[in-house]
Protein backbone atom coordinates (compact mmCIF):
# COMPACT_ATOMS: atom_id res chain seq x y z
CA UNK A 1 0.00 0.00 0.00
CA UNK A 2 1.15 3.51 -0.80
CA UNK A 3 4.24 2.30 -2.54
CA UNK A 4 6.89 4.92 -3.05
CA UNK A 5 5.36 7.37 -0.61
CA UNK A 6 7.75 9.87 0.88
CA UNK A 7 5.76 10.61 4.04
CA UNK A 8 7.26 10.27 7.49
CA UNK A 9 6.36 7.29 9.66
CA UNK A 10 3.42 8.84 11.53
CA UNK A 11 2.68 11.91 9.46
CA UNK A 12 0.27 12.07 6.53
CA UNK A 13 1.43 10.25 3.44
CA UNK A 14 -0.82 12.12 1.07
CA UNK A 15 -3.51 14.78 1.16
CA UNK A 16 -5.86 15.93 -1.60
CA UNK A 17 -8.65 18.49 -1.63
CA UNK A 18 -11.62 18.75 -3.95
CA UNK A 19 -13.82 21.82 -4.38
CA UNK A 20 -17.59 21.37 -3.94
CA UNK A 21 -19.89 23.91 -5.53
CA UNK A 22 -23.18 24.62 -3.79
CA UNK A 23 -26.37 23.66 -5.74
CA UNK A 24 -24.33 22.16 -8.57
CA UNK A 25 -26.27 18.92 -8.79
CA UNK A 26 -24.71 17.98 -12.13
CA UNK A 27 -21.28 17.73 -10.53
CA UNK A 28 -22.40 16.47 -7.11
CA UNK A 29 -20.69 13.16 -6.45
CA UNK A 30 -17.76 13.69 -8.80
CA UNK A 31 -15.35 14.44 -5.95
CA UNK A 32 -16.42 11.22 -4.21
CA UNK A 33 -15.83 9.22 -7.39
CA UNK A 34 -12.33 10.72 -7.59
CA UNK A 35 -11.70 9.84 -3.95
CA UNK A 36 -12.86 6.29 -4.58
CA UNK A 37 -10.49 6.06 -7.55
CA UNK A 38 -7.60 7.39 -5.47
CA UNK A 39 -8.19 4.92 -2.62
CA UNK A 40 -8.50 2.00 -5.06
CA UNK A 41 -5.33 3.11 -6.82
CA UNK A 42 -3.52 3.14 -3.48
CA UNK A 43 -4.55 -0.47 -2.99
CA UNK A 44 -6.87 -0.19 0.00
CA UNK A 45 -9.21 -3.12 0.73
CA UNK A 46 -12.65 -2.88 -0.88
CA UNK A 47 -14.47 -2.65 2.47
CA UNK A 48 -12.73 0.49 3.69
CA UNK A 49 -12.92 2.08 0.21
CA UNK A 50 -16.64 1.45 0.17
CA UNK A 51 -17.21 2.91 3.65
CA UNK A 52 -15.12 5.99 2.92
CA UNK A 53 -16.69 6.70 -0.46
CA UNK A 54 -20.26 6.34 0.84
CA UNK A 55 -19.44 8.88 3.55
CA UNK A 56 -17.71 11.17 1.05
CA UNK A 57 -20.78 11.07 -1.21
CA UNK A 58 -23.27 11.78 1.59
CA UNK A 59 -21.09 14.64 2.84
CA UNK A 60 -20.60 16.02 -0.65
CA UNK A 61 -24.36 15.97 -1.26
CA UNK A 62 -24.91 17.79 2.03
CA UNK A 63 -22.56 20.60 0.97
CA UNK A 64 -24.26 20.81 -2.45
CA UNK A 65 -27.73 20.87 -0.91
CA UNK A 66 -27.29 22.93 2.24
CA UNK A 67 -23.88 24.57 2.26
CA UNK A 68 -22.47 27.39 0.26
CA UNK A 69 -19.35 26.27 -1.57
CA UNK A 70 -17.07 23.97 0.38
CA UNK A 71 -14.41 21.35 0.00
CA UNK A 72 -13.59 17.79 0.88
CA UNK A 73 -10.07 16.78 1.84
CA UNK A 74 -8.84 13.23 2.02
CA UNK A 75 -5.70 12.65 4.06
CA UNK A 76 -3.95 9.33 4.12
CA UNK A 77 -2.00 8.17 7.17
CA UNK A 78 -0.29 4.78 7.48
CA UNK A 79 -3.23 3.18 9.30
CA UNK A 80 -5.96 5.75 8.75
CA UNK A 81 -7.98 7.49 6.05
CA UNK A 82 -9.34 10.89 7.13
CA UNK A 83 -12.05 12.87 5.40
CA UNK A 84 -12.60 16.50 6.29
CA UNK A 85 -15.58 18.25 4.76
CA UNK A 86 -16.25 21.90 5.36
CA UNK A 87 -18.62 24.50 4.04
CA UNK A 88 -19.59 28.07 4.76
CA UNK A 89 -23.31 27.36 4.80
CA UNK A 90 -25.97 28.14 7.40
CA UNK A 91 -24.64 25.54 9.85
CA UNK A 92 -26.61 23.01 11.89
CA UNK A 93 -28.75 24.34 14.70
CA UNK A 94 -29.25 21.09 16.60
CA UNK A 95 -26.63 18.46 15.73
CA UNK A 96 -28.28 15.76 17.87
CA UNK A 97 -31.57 16.24 16.04
CA UNK A 98 -29.79 16.23 12.66
CA UNK A 99 -28.23 12.87 13.57
CA UNK A 100 -31.66 11.25 13.97
CA UNK A 101 -32.65 8.97 11.10
CA UNK A 102 -35.41 10.56 9.05
CA UNK A 103 -34.94 14.09 10.37
CA UNK A 104 -34.53 16.45 7.46
CA UNK A 105 -34.89 20.11 6.58
CA UNK A 106 -34.69 19.37 2.87
CA UNK A 107 -37.19 21.00 0.51
CA UNK A 108 -39.31 18.59 -1.60
CA UNK A 109 -37.21 19.15 -4.76
CA UNK A 110 -34.17 17.61 -3.06
CA UNK A 111 -36.21 14.54 -2.18
CA UNK A 112 -37.28 14.27 -5.79
CA UNK A 113 -33.60 13.96 -6.64
CA UNK A 114 -33.28 11.03 -4.26
CA UNK A 115 -31.73 12.86 -1.33
CA UNK A 116 -32.86 14.82 1.69
CA UNK A 117 -34.47 11.82 3.40
CA UNK A 118 -32.71 12.48 6.69
CA UNK A 119 -30.33 9.56 6.27
CA UNK A 120 -27.12 11.34 5.31
CA UNK A 121 -25.53 11.99 8.70
CA UNK A 122 -26.72 8.64 10.19
CA UNK A 123 -25.27 6.87 7.13
CA UNK A 124 -21.94 8.59 7.70
CA UNK A 125 -21.95 7.61 11.37
CA UNK A 126 -22.72 4.00 10.48
CA UNK A 127 -19.82 3.80 8.02
CA UNK A 128 -17.08 5.78 9.76
CA UNK A 129 -14.94 4.62 12.69
CA UNK A 130 -15.00 8.15 14.11
CA UNK A 131 -17.24 11.08 13.25
CA UNK A 132 -17.07 14.60 14.57
CA UNK A 133 -19.28 17.53 13.58
CA UNK A 134 -18.43 21.12 14.42
CA UNK A 135 -21.19 23.52 13.50
CA UNK A 136 -23.32 26.34 14.74
CA UNK A 137 -25.85 28.61 13.04
CA UNK A 138 -24.27 30.88 10.41
CA UNK A 139 -20.80 29.49 11.14
CA UNK A 140 -20.69 26.78 8.50
CA UNK A 141 -20.13 23.10 9.15
CA UNK A 142 -17.02 20.96 9.52
CA UNK A 143 -17.36 17.17 9.43
CA UNK A 144 -14.39 15.02 10.28
CA UNK A 145 -14.49 11.28 9.54
CA UNK A 146 -11.85 8.65 10.24
CA UNK A 147 -11.59 5.17 8.74
CA UNK A 148 -9.16 2.87 10.42
CA UNK A 149 -7.34 0.10 8.63
CA UNK A 150 -7.34 -1.83 11.89
CA UNK A 151 -11.15 -1.84 12.05
CA UNK A 152 -13.20 -4.63 10.56
CA UNK A 153 -13.91 -4.05 6.84
CA UNK B 1 -25.48 -18.66 -15.80
CA UNK B 2 -23.79 -19.93 -12.70
CA UNK B 3 -24.72 -23.20 -11.10
CA UNK B 4 -23.57 -24.80 -7.91
CA UNK B 5 -23.30 -28.55 -7.56
CA UNK B 6 -24.91 -29.64 -4.31
CA UNK B 7 -24.93 -33.09 -2.78
CA UNK B 8 -28.42 -34.04 -1.69
CA UNK B 9 -29.57 -37.26 0.01
CA UNK B 10 -32.10 -39.44 -1.83
CA UNK B 11 -34.70 -41.70 -0.21
CA UNK B 12 -32.40 -44.71 -0.26
CA UNK B 13 -29.64 -42.75 1.43
CA UNK B 14 -27.47 -42.24 -1.63
CA UNK B 15 -25.94 -38.83 -2.21
CA UNK B 16 -26.69 -37.39 -5.63
CA UNK B 17 -25.35 -34.27 -7.22
CA UNK B 18 -27.96 -31.61 -7.94
CA UNK B 19 -27.38 -28.53 -10.00
CA UNK B 20 -28.69 -25.38 -8.34
CA UNK B 21 -28.91 -22.13 -10.26
CA UNK B 22 -27.38 -19.10 -8.60
CA UNK B 23 -28.28 -15.68 -9.93
CA UNK B 24 -28.92 -14.54 -13.48
CA UNK B 25 -26.79 -12.97 -16.13
CA UNK B 26 -27.58 -9.35 -17.00
CA UNK B 27 -28.64 -10.65 -20.40
CA UNK B 28 -31.26 -12.87 -18.76
CA UNK B 29 -32.34 -9.95 -16.57
CA UNK B 30 -32.83 -7.84 -19.70
CA UNK B 31 -34.89 -10.60 -21.33
CA UNK B 32 -37.07 -11.13 -18.26
CA UNK B 33 -37.79 -7.40 -18.00
CA UNK B 34 -38.10 -6.98 -21.79
CA UNK B 35 -35.59 -4.22 -21.26
CA UNK B 36 -33.69 -2.07 -23.71
CA UNK B 37 -29.93 -1.98 -23.09
CA UNK B 38 -28.35 1.44 -23.68
CA UNK B 39 -24.67 0.84 -23.02
CA UNK B 40 -22.00 -1.61 -21.90
CA UNK B 41 -23.59 -4.51 -23.82
CA UNK B 42 -20.30 -6.39 -23.54
CA UNK B 43 -20.89 -6.78 -19.80
CA UNK B 44 -24.19 -8.64 -20.14
CA UNK B 45 -22.66 -12.02 -19.33
CA UNK B 46 -21.93 -10.79 -15.78
CA UNK B 47 -23.93 -12.69 -13.16
CA UNK B 48 -25.89 -10.99 -10.41
CA UNK B 49 -27.67 -12.49 -7.43
CA UNK B 50 -29.30 -9.52 -5.73
CA UNK B 51 -31.39 -6.52 -6.69
CA UNK B 52 -32.47 -3.40 -4.85
CA UNK B 53 -35.27 -1.02 -5.73
CA UNK B 54 -36.07 2.53 -4.72
CA UNK B 55 -35.80 6.20 -5.46
CA UNK B 56 -34.08 7.35 -2.27
CA UNK B 57 -30.36 7.27 -2.81
CA UNK B 58 -29.48 7.47 0.88
CA UNK B 59 -31.47 4.29 1.52
CA UNK B 60 -29.66 2.57 -1.32
CA UNK B 61 -26.27 3.69 0.00
CA UNK B 62 -27.00 1.53 3.05
CA UNK B 63 -26.93 -1.71 1.07
CA UNK B 64 -24.07 -3.80 2.42
CA UNK B 65 -23.48 -5.81 -0.78
CA UNK B 66 -21.45 -5.31 -3.92
CA UNK B 67 -22.67 -6.39 -7.35
CA UNK B 68 -26.35 -5.52 -6.80
CA UNK B 69 -28.67 -4.46 -9.67
CA UNK B 70 -30.50 -1.22 -8.99
CA UNK B 71 -34.07 -0.68 -10.21
CA UNK B 72 -35.26 2.89 -9.91
CA UNK B 73 -37.57 5.49 -11.34
CA UNK B 74 -35.07 8.24 -10.57
CA UNK B 75 -33.56 9.32 -13.88
CA UNK B 76 -30.89 11.52 -12.41
CA UNK B 77 -27.14 11.32 -12.75
CA UNK B 78 -27.12 10.75 -8.99
CA UNK B 79 -28.60 7.29 -9.60
CA UNK B 80 -25.53 6.46 -11.72
CA UNK B 81 -23.15 7.86 -9.10
CA UNK B 82 -24.88 5.88 -6.35
CA UNK B 83 -24.31 2.71 -8.41
CA UNK B 84 -20.68 3.58 -9.08
CA UNK B 85 -19.86 4.40 -5.48
CA UNK B 86 -21.41 1.20 -4.13
CA UNK B 87 -20.09 -1.14 -6.83
CA UNK B 88 -23.50 -1.96 -8.31
CA UNK B 89 -23.58 -4.10 -11.41
CA UNK B 90 -26.31 -2.48 -13.50
CA UNK B 91 -28.85 0.33 -13.39
CA UNK B 92 -32.37 -0.29 -14.68
CA UNK B 93 -34.90 2.51 -15.10
CA UNK B 94 -38.49 1.39 -14.70
CA UNK B 95 -41.85 2.67 -16.02
CA UNK B 96 -40.29 3.41 -19.39
CA UNK B 97 -38.14 6.25 -18.09
CA UNK B 98 -35.39 7.08 -20.53
CA UNK B 99 -31.85 7.94 -19.43
CA UNK B 100 -30.56 11.30 -20.67
CA UNK B 101 -27.22 11.82 -22.40
CA UNK B 102 -25.53 12.95 -19.19
CA UNK B 103 -26.45 9.65 -17.51
CA UNK B 104 -25.24 7.60 -20.47
CA UNK B 105 -21.96 9.49 -20.76
CA UNK B 106 -21.19 8.96 -17.08
CA UNK B 107 -22.19 5.29 -17.32
CA UNK B 108 -19.97 4.71 -20.37
CA UNK B 109 -16.97 6.42 -18.76
CA UNK B 110 -17.18 4.18 -15.72
CA UNK B 111 -18.50 1.02 -17.39
CA UNK B 112 -21.99 0.70 -15.87
CA UNK B 113 -24.67 -1.08 -17.96
CA UNK B 114 -27.90 0.94 -18.25
CA UNK B 115 -31.29 -0.50 -19.21
CA UNK B 116 -34.89 0.57 -19.20
CA UNK B 117 -38.11 -1.39 -18.99
CA UNK B 118 -41.70 -0.32 -19.55
CA UNK B 119 -42.68 -2.39 -16.50
CA UNK B 120 -43.45 -0.81 -13.12
CA UNK B 121 -41.04 -1.09 -10.23
CA UNK B 122 -43.28 -3.66 -8.53
CA UNK B 123 -43.70 -5.84 -11.62
CA UNK B 124 -39.99 -5.67 -12.43
CA UNK B 125 -39.05 -6.80 -8.94
CA UNK B 126 -41.72 -9.51 -9.01
CA UNK B 127 -40.44 -10.99 -12.26
CA UNK B 128 -36.82 -11.01 -11.09
CA UNK B 129 -37.72 -12.44 -7.68
CA UNK B 130 -39.69 -15.24 -9.33
CA UNK B 131 -36.58 -16.12 -11.34
CA UNK B 132 -34.40 -16.39 -8.25
CA UNK B 133 -32.93 -12.91 -7.80
CA UNK B 134 -32.67 -12.19 -4.10
CA UNK B 135 -33.39 -8.92 -2.34
CA UNK B 136 -31.47 -7.17 0.39
CA UNK B 137 -32.28 -8.78 3.75
Residue A46: its chain B contacts at CB < 8 A?
66, 87
Residue B61: its chain A contacts at CB < 8 A?
54, 57-58, 119, 123
pLDDT tens digits along B21-42: 689 999 999 999 999 999 999 9
Residue A97 lies in a domain: yes
Shortest CA gap B53–chain A (Å): 12
Coil, strand, or helix at residue A134? strand
Q: Does A152 touch chain B (CB under 8 A)?
A: no
pLDDT tens digits along A53-75: 999 999 999 999 998 899 999 99
Count CB atoms within 10 A of the CB of residue B5: 8
CB contact under 8 Å between A117 and B56, yes or no, is yes
CB contact under 8 Å between A119 and B58, yes or no, is yes
CATH code at position A41: 3.30.565.10
Domain count, chain A: 1
Residue A87 lies in a domain: yes
Mean pLDDT (chain A, rounded): 91
The pair phi, psi for residue B115, each rounded to 5°, is: -135, 165
Class of domain B2-130: alpha beta
**What number is the ipTM of this complex?**
0.87
**Alpha-carbon torsion angle B67, B73, B75, B79, nearest 10:** -30
Q: Which residue has the higher pLDDT, A25 or A7?
A: A25
Residue A2 lies in a domain: no
- Beta carbons within 8 Å of B75's beta carbon, 6+ residues apart: B93, B97, B98, B99, B100, B103
Conformation bin of residue A65: beta by default, left when phi > 0, alpha when psi is -120 to 50: alpha
CB contact under 8 Å between A117 and B59, yes or no, is yes
User: Rounded CA gap, A65 and A107, in Å?
Assistant: 10
Write out the E strands in chain B: 2-9, 15-22, 24-25, 36-39, 47-48, 51-53, 69-72, 90-93, 114-116
pLDDT category of residue A2 using cuts at 50, 70 and 90:
very low
Report the pLDDT value the prediction gives residue B19, as an integer from 0 to 100.
58
Q: Which segments of chain A does DSSP mark as H helices, in order?
A: 30-41, 46-66, 95-98, 108-112, 120-127
Q: Does A115 touch chain B (CB under 8 A)?
A: yes
Per the structure, the complete domain to which residue A105 belongs is given by 15-148
Shortest CA gap B41–chain A (Å): 23
Give which of A80, A65, A72, A79 is closest to A22, Cα–Cα. A65
DSSP lists the bridge partners of residue A72 as A18, A85
Give which of A124, A102, A133, A105 is closest to A58, Cα–Cα. A124
Q: Where are the domains of chain B?
A: 2-130
Residue A5 lies in a domain: no
pLDDT category of residue B12 using cuts at 50, 70 and 90:
low
- Beta carbons within 8 Å of A125's beta carbon, 6+ residues apart: A99, A131
**Residues above pLDDT 70, as percent of chain A:** 93
Quick check: A115 and A60 in contact, CB under 8 A? no
Least confident of A143-147, A148-152, B131-135: A148-152
Mutation target to probe the A interface, by most A beta carbons within 10 A, among B58, B59, B60, B81 is B58
Residue A50: its chain B contacts at CB < 8 A?
66, 86-87
Q: What pTM, to 2 d.p., does this model score?
A: 0.88
Amino acid sequence: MLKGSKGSHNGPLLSRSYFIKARDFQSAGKASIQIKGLLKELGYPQGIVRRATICAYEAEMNVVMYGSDGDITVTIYPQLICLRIQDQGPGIEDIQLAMQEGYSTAPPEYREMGFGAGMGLPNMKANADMMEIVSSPNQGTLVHLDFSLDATP
Amino acid sequence: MLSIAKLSPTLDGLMVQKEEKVGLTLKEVAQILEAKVYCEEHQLEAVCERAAAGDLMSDLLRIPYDGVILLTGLTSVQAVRTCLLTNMKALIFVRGKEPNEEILTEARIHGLPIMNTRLSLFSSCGRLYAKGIKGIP
